[in-house]
Amino acid sequence: MSNDNSSDETTSIVQRIRTWAMRYAPDGAREGDTARGGFLSYAGEWHSLAVGLAAGFAAAATGRWELAAIPVALAFGLEAVKLPGADPSAPVVGEVRREPWYALGGDTIGVAVGLLVVGTGLALPL
């Protein structure tokens, strides 16, 4: 009989991740609605960071640097362009404007990670 504890270890790791996520996951629409304040304490901060990370990574990995300018333009107050079929109630623009430092930081980190991916030869062909 083998003493395989890999499934127990996996369960333990998954449980730890779940516990961490439930402790730090945003649970309010505004910082005042959450039990804790500070770094990534509510949904707007997470969303703003995700927009920056995605735009920065996409820009560096594809070489289309104008993508990295999207969070910068939104953070500095560029008015949203009305696109046909776009949802005008989408809160992403407002979240980036309320939390510009998260979007700008995410953009910077996304570019750095994207450049690392490009440097390893894993660039996305477009």
For residue 45, give every residue at least 6 positions away whose Cβ sits within 8 Å of its Cβ, in sequence order, or none: 26, 31, 39, 99, 102
In the predicted structure, residue 123 carries a pLDDT above the cut 60: no
For residue range 17-44, what is the model confidence (pLDDT) as tens digits? 777 766 666 666 666 666 666 677 777 8
pTM higher than the cut 0.85: no
The pLDDT assigned to 1 comes to 44
For residue range 45-64, what is the model confidence (pLDDT) as tens digits? 888 888 999 999 999 988 89
Q: What are the structural domain ranges in the chain?
A: 6-119
